[in-house]
């Protein structure tokens, strides 16, 4: 049995529920609903587990603030013995325009405090990321830290269901691709 860890980044509480910084939580909520599983609170994180063709997919929403996301990621990685190559982090990305969604393996954190903490706690950058573009504030406007804590505007909100659906499809493709790669590696 293969275990995968999918971590959605966000901040806990209603105050942050619809902010750009919480897109990871939003995507995981839709994925959990699609899988027919519910999140349960366990200490400082919420977890939902889905069995997919005999493999386990652990969906996790850290329930501490963004800059402490590494603790839940590390805890579950250790508990289920999941290496970084089988971890996918769903994150907001200010370096991509709104609506652009890209996969990435490893690399730097581009100042993202949630990613910084995950790298520090895992001791590795070699996990996968689903980067959901939220855009940047206009030059001379608000600071990036304030921008990501703002709610999506009305135009963006109308596009979110489609973009979140696209993100869910990318996650499913990631799981399937990595299952095949792991199975091939175990046969050699």
CB 48 within 8 A of CB 91: no
Catalytic residue (choose from 3, 21, 50, 58): 21
Question: Binding site for tRNA: residue ranges?
Answer: 16, 65, 67, 113
Q: Is the pLDDT of residue 183 over 90?
A: no
pLDDT value, residue 52: 85
- CATH number given to 3-186: 3.40.50.1470
**pLDDT exceeds 80 at position 187:** no
Q: pTM of the prediction? A: 0.95
Residue positions forming the annotated binding site: 16, 65, 67, 113
Q: At what angle do helices 113-122 and 69-80 cross, to 10 degrees?
A: 40
What are 58-113's pLDDT values in tens digits? 999 999 999 999 999 999 999 999 999 999 999 999 999 999 999 999 988 888 98
What is d(CA 71, CA 146) in angstroms, rounded to the nearest whole number?
A: 24
For the chain, give every domain's residue range: 3-186
Cα separation, 128 vs 186, in Å, equals 20
CA atoms within 13 A on the CB side of 65: 4
How far does the chain reach from its first CA to its final CA, in angstroms? 17
pLDDT of residue 182: 86
Percent of the chain at pLDDT > 90 equals 79
Q: Would the pLDDT of 186 be above 80?
A: no
Q: Is 50 a catalytic residue?
A: no
Q: Taking residues 41-63, what's their average pLDDT?
A: 90
pLDDT band at 142 (very low <50, low <70, confident <90, very high): confident
d(CA 177, CA 117): 27
Strands 40-42 and 55-62: what pairing? unpaired
Query: Is 143 exposed, middle or buried, given 0-12, 13-18 or 19+ CB atoms closer than 10 A?
Result: exposed
């Amino acid at each position: 049995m293969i275990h995968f860890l999918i971590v959605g980044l966000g901040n806990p509480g209603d105050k942050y529920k619809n902010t750009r910084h919480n897109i990871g939580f939003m995507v995981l909520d839709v994925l959990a609903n699609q899988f027919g599983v519910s999140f349960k609170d366990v200490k400082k994180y919420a977890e939902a587990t889905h069995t997919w063709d005999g493999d386990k997919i652990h969906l996790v929403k850290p329930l501490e603030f963004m800059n402490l996301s590494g603790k839940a990621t590390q805890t579950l990685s250790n508990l289920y013995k999941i290496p970084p190559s089988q971890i996918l982090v769903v994150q907001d990305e200010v370096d991509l325009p709104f609506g652009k969604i890209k996969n990435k393996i490893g690399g730097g954190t581009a100042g993202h405090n949630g990613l910084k903490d995950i790298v520090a706690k895992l001791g590795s950058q070699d996990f996968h990321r689903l980067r959901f573009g939220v855009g940047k504030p206009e030059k001379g406007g608000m600071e990036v830290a304030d921008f990501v804590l703002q709610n999506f505007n009305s135009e963006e909100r109308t596009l979110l269901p489609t973009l979140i659906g696209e993100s869910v499809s990318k996650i499913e493709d990631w799981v399937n691709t990595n299952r095949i790669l792991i199975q091939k590696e175990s046969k050699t």
